[in-house]
């Protein structure tokens, strides 16, 4: 990452949501030899679109290409500025700031995005600076650097606000899913239980679902239909 390759002072952070075992989860990086946890983020190349930079970073970490991505806020408080954190990350990777990395110790304004992906499609991959990239339930996050906890909270709040308006919950599931699975996603996002009949009626009335064949799970009860988003 030499100085000339990226726009200085500008970063992005991404809150990558997945759904598994009944929990809403997000991808968190743990940096090599530091015990520091952070959202996966990155920088923008000099001639690159901001949105493309985020998609590139997500692709590098998840291998996915068609990602549901939404920009939700830009964090620009001066109090975000804490060069010691970045210095620690660089040193843990054997990098001296003087070797062309001084710009990473500057103040950054960060554009935050959230992504919704199908948990099963991802094998998280660490990037060059990181030790591990793992899923954590949103209610059991480790302590995060800088204002990243705040970014996560705002991401969840925005996702909740957009849930009914944009009907995006399906992006957290495989192509085909049952009505019960979809309801579980909604409940995990909203943090509340929903009524089965009311939920089903609302989803069907919205006319965004296509009904497919039944799914036989081997359980001793009526088999549910599979659905997909139109």
Partner DNA sequence: TTACTATTGTCACAAACTGAGACAATAAGA
Partner DNA sequence: TCTTATTGTCTCAGTTTGTGACAATAGTAA
Tokens at residue 113, please?
């995005």
Question: How far, CA to CA in Å, does 75 sit from each of 26, 72, 108, 218?
Answer: 19, 10, 9, 49
DSSP classification of residue 48: S
* The binder of its own copies chosen from 102, 107, 139, 157 (CB under 8 A): 107
* The binder of DNA chosen from 71, 88, 158, 178 (CB under 7 A): 178
Strands 23-31 and 130-137: antiparallel
Q: Interface with its own copies includes 158 (CB under 8 A)?
A: no
Asked if 144 and 193 touch (Cβ cutoff 8 Å), the reply is no
CB atoms closer than 10 angstroms to residue 19: 22
Q: Interface with DNA includes 192 (CB under 7 A)?
A: no
Q: Interface with DNA includes 201 (CB under 7 A)?
A: yes
* The binder of its own copies chosen from 123, 165, 193, 230 (CB under 8 A): 165
User: Which of 165/221 has CB closer to DNA?
Assistant: 221
Output the smallest distance, CB 66 to its own copies, in A: 20
* Coil/strand/helix, residue 170: helix
* Coil/strand/helix, residue 198: helix
User: Which of 98/205 has CB closer to DNA?
Assistant: 205
User: Which of 6/19 has CB closer to its own copies?
Assistant: 6
Tokens at residue 140, please?
């059991």
The partner in contact with residue 128, picked from its own copies, DNA, none with C-beta cut-offs of 5 to 8 angstroms by kind, is none
Q: Interface with DNA includes 47 (CB under 7 A)?
A: no
Q: Interface with DNA includes 107 (CB under 7 A)?
A: no
Q: Interface with its own copies includes 167 (CB under 8 A)?
A: no
Asked if 209 and 191 touch (Cβ cutoff 8 Å), the reply is no
Q: Interface with DNA includes 195 (CB under 7 A)?
A: yes
Axis-axis angle for helices 179-190, 196-205 (nearest 10): 110
Q: Interface with its own copies includes 193 (CB under 8 A)?
A: no
What does the binding site for its own copies look like in residue numbers (CB under 8 A)?
Answer: 7-10, 44, 46-51, 71, 73-79, 107, 109, 111, 161, 165
What does the binding site for DNA look like in residue numbers (CB under 7 A)?
Answer: 178-180, 195-198, 200-202, 204-205, 214, 216-225
């Amino acid at each position: 990452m030499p100085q000339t390759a990226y726009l200085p002072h500008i970063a992005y952070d991404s809150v990558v949501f997945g759904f598994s075992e009944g929990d809403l989860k997000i991808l968190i990086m743990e940096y090599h030899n530091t015990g520091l946890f952070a959202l996966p983020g990155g920088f923008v190349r000099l001639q690159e679109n901001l949105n493309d930079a985020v998609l590139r970073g997500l692709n590098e970490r998840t291998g996915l290409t068609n990602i549901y991505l939404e920009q939700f806020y830009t964090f620009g408080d001066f109090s975000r500025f804490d060069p010691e954190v970045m210095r620690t990350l660089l040193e843990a990777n054997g990098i001296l700031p003087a070797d062309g990395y001084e710009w990473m110790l500057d103040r950054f304004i960060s554009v935050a995005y959230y992504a919704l992906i199908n948990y099963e499609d991802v094998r998280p991959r660490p990037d060059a600076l990181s030790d591990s990239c793992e899923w954590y339930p949103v209610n059991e996050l480790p302590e995060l650097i800088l204002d990243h906890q705040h970014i996560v909270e705002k991401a969840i709040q925005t996702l909740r606000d957009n849930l009914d308006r944009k009907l995006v919950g399906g992006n957290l599931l495989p192509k085909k899913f049952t009505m019960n699975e979809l309801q579980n996603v909604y409940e995990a996002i909203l943090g509340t239980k929903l009524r089965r009949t009311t939920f089903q009626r609302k989803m069907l009335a919205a006319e965004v679902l296509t009904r497919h064949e039944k799914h036989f799970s081997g359980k001793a009860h009526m088999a549910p239909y599979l659905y997909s988003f139109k």
